[in-house]
Amino acid sequence: MDDGASPAAQQQPQQQQTDEATTLISLAQNYLHSSQTNGTESANIRFRPPFLQTPKHDARGDAVALIVEHLIQRQFPQWAAYVVAYSLVDLYASELQTADVPFDENDYDAIDATVWCPKVIVRLQSYLTKLAASSIPLPEYQPDPDQLLYSYCAQRNRRAKMEDRSDRSRNQDSFFAVFDGHNGVDCANYASSHFARCLIDNPEYATGSIEDVMKRAFSTLDKRLTVRCKREHIKSGTTAACAFLRARRHLCVGWCGDSAVAVLRKDAVRTLSSAHSPMVEVRSPHCFVSQQLKFIKILTK
């Protein structure tokens, strides 16, 4: 049966997939070469974990975030870092305890992160060694030839460390977020590692209104983060500015705190968000919803 696609159109995704598989192997080889050149193979012993414990229901997201940040700092493009991270946590789910575990606020089964985090990085090096030698199957990756273009910039200003984090997830749906850490990076780290999962795990993700899905994700993340902060005595906080685009047609923007969201028009910038003040109680995140394709085109150009 002819599906109407030309041979060239059918060949393009296959060629892109081949090119990106080659890129993954090359990135793995460069990573290993750089580690050997800089003498960092033994640096895992001195690896400083970003947190002391991780509950098992957070281990998967924490491991992915740990791997992605580690690889991006070593010149991996974002898509490749995520492909490697998700492949690794699935492949070594038993050893690293990174299988999906449902969240239960009354069950905080914690893993010692001072041992676990270095173990994740050691396993990453082992994984990349096998990937570079083509001794394991390449991770599955379905390239999207029509991905949205985006840019990202962060500035540390006068603080000793960067406390801001971001999240970019793209498939048929797209999710973009910025989290501005206050008094530390812990909460911003957590939000960037787990918000998208809270969004997707909603049973009504595919059928519910995007505003309800977004609000529930904020609420779920808040519950999980509250438990983590209480257990780990975390004193920091974070703002959130999130954009959820469904099927390139429906957009929901949600925010909490003073991080701003704006849309760029031909002649002006329109701010969609309004800052929350500590003097005013925030019962739920505000959401701005658009279901006009014309408006989405303005946002994504």
Provide the CATH number for the domain around residue 180. Answer: 3.60.40.10
At 154 the three-state DSSP class reads coil
More reliable by pLDDT, 122 or 19: 122
Give me the pLDDT at residue 78, please.
83
Q: Give percent of the chain with pLDDT exceeding 90.
A: 35
Q: Give percent of the chain with pLDDT exceeding 70.
A: 72
Q: How is residue 43 annotated by DSSP?
A: G
In terms of C-beta density within 10 A (0-12 exposed, 13-18 middle, 19 or more buried), how is residue 94 classed? Answer: exposed
Whether residues 207 and 274 fall in one domain: yes
- For residue 258, being part of any structural domain is answered with yes
Give me the pLDDT at residue 272, please.
82
* Cα 296 to Cα 249: distance, rounded to the nearest angstrom: 6
- For residue 48, being part of any structural domain is answered with yes
Q: How confident is the model at residue 45 (pLDDT cuts 50, 70, 90)?
A: very low
* Model confidence pLDDT, tens digit, residues 117-153: 999 999 999 999 999 998 988 887 765 555 677 776 7
Q: Are 164 and 154 in contact (CB under 8 A)?
A: yes
Torsion over CA: 25, 136, 88, 67 (sign) = negative
* Model confidence pLDDT, tens digit, residues 161-197: 655 566 656 567 888 898 988 888 889 989 999 998 9
Whether residues 115 and 200 fall in one domain: no
Give me the pLDDT at residue 221, please.
93
- For residue 79, being part of any structural domain is answered with yes
Give me the pLDDT at residue 184, please.
85
CATH number at residue 25: 1.10.1740
- For residue 141, being part of any structural domain is answered with no
CA Rg, the chain, in Å? 20
Residue written as token pair 């001195």: 46
pLDDT value at 283 more than 60: no
* Model confidence pLDDT, tens digit, residues 223-277: 999 999 999 999 888 988 888 888 878 888 888 888 888 888 888 888 888 887 7
Q: How confident is the model at residue 291 (pLDDT cuts 50, 70, 90)?
A: very low
* Model confidence pLDDT, tens digit, residues 55-91: 999 999 999 999 998 998 898 988 899 899 999 999 9
Q: Are 237 and 183 in contact (CB under 8 A)?
A: yes
Q: Domain residues for 50?
A: 13-133
Identity of the residue numbered 240 = A
Give me the pLDDT at residue 287, please.
55
Q: How is residue 245 annotated by DSSP?
A: E
Give me the pLDDT at residue 102, please.
92
- For residue 142, being part of any structural domain is answered with no
Whether residues 92 and 223 fall in one domain: no
